[in-house]
A and B are shown apart, each in its own frame.
Chain A
Amino acid sequence: ETGVTQSPTHLIKTRGQQVTLRCSSQSGHNTVSWYQQALGQGPQFIFQYYREEENGRGNFPPRFSGLQFPNYSSELNVNALELDDSALYLCASSSGTTSYNEQFFGPGTRLTVL
């Protein structure tokens, strides 16, 4: 176990709704990254937060937004859900923002959009 926890485990929403996913980082980690993993695909980078600020973003629209809190827990918010948003959402915490800081993944939240 990595010490990274995510909630909820599963979630079912309908198209157009909004969703909030939560992540608790491993102790001592100040950086969190979020990834989307569609069925049969590798994870895709959504964004990274460091010290409560967005530090980098992948090719995702603005309706994907995030927050990081002073205790380094974080949220991923998705507005105006689309069917293609159905995926496993993974958060990964690390002790720094560079590529040589190992990223520890949580078990993910499986989102189904109907």
Chain B
Amino acid sequence: QKEVEQDPGPLSVPEGAIVSLNCTYSNSAFQYFMWYRQYSRKGPELLMYTYSSGNKEDGRFTAQVDKSSKYISLFIRDSQPSDSATYLCAMSANLGGGADGLTFGKGTHLIIQP
């Protein structure tokens, strides 16, 4: 079982729809949770950052973390064609004594149809 599971899609939705993207994980030591957006042939760009459980909202984006279920979500409201990209979830345990890096999911390819 991979540490982080993410459905690769593609996920195709009409413009204006609410998009729900999800990841599950197995390592209970993960404390920091991130969502990155990656356009084709570009590096990942940080969208949302959450520490531990709870919700965080930034404009049209809402991130949710449920540590008890080991489940994180990203919601995109009023989706736009420019939101079409691959969305990567990433996590870190930050155990100290040296970096463990970020552990990424495979990414979900999202297509917003005009």
Q: Which residues of A are in contact with B by a Cβ distance under 8 Å?
A: 2, 4, 31, 33, 35, 40-48, 50, 55-56, 58, 90, 92, 97-100, 102-108
Q: Which residues of A contact B46 (CB under 8 A)?
A: 102-104
Closest to B4 in A: A42
B51 adjacent to A42 (CB under 8 Å)? no
| 0/1 interface trace, chain B 76-114, chain A, CB 8 Å (1 if under) | 000000000000101011100011111111110000000
Q: Tell me, in angstroms, the Cα distance from A50 to B101 when the chains sit together.
A: 13
Report the separation of the CA atoms of residues A35 and B100 in the bound assembly, to the nearest whole angstrom. 12
Cβ-defined contact, B43 with A99, below 8 A: no
Chain B interface, DSSP helix/strand/loop, else mixed:
loop
B positions within 8 Å CB-CB of A: 4, 6, 8, 31-32, 36, 41-46, 49, 51, 88, 90, 92-94, 98-107
State the CA gap A75–B49 with chains docked (Å): 28
Q: Are B99 and A56 in contact (CB under 8 A)?
A: yes
Other-chain contact of A45, B6, B49, B51, B101 (Cβ < 8 Å): B101
Q: A33-B102, A107-B42, A108-B43 are in contact. List 15 more A-B contacts (CB 8 A).
A: A35-B101, A35-B102, A41-B107, A42-B105, A47-B101, A48-B99, A55-B98, A55-B99, A56-B100, A90-B43, A99-B94, A100-B32, A103-B46, A105-B36, A105-B44
- Give every chain A residue within 8 A of B88 (Cβ-Cβ): 42-43
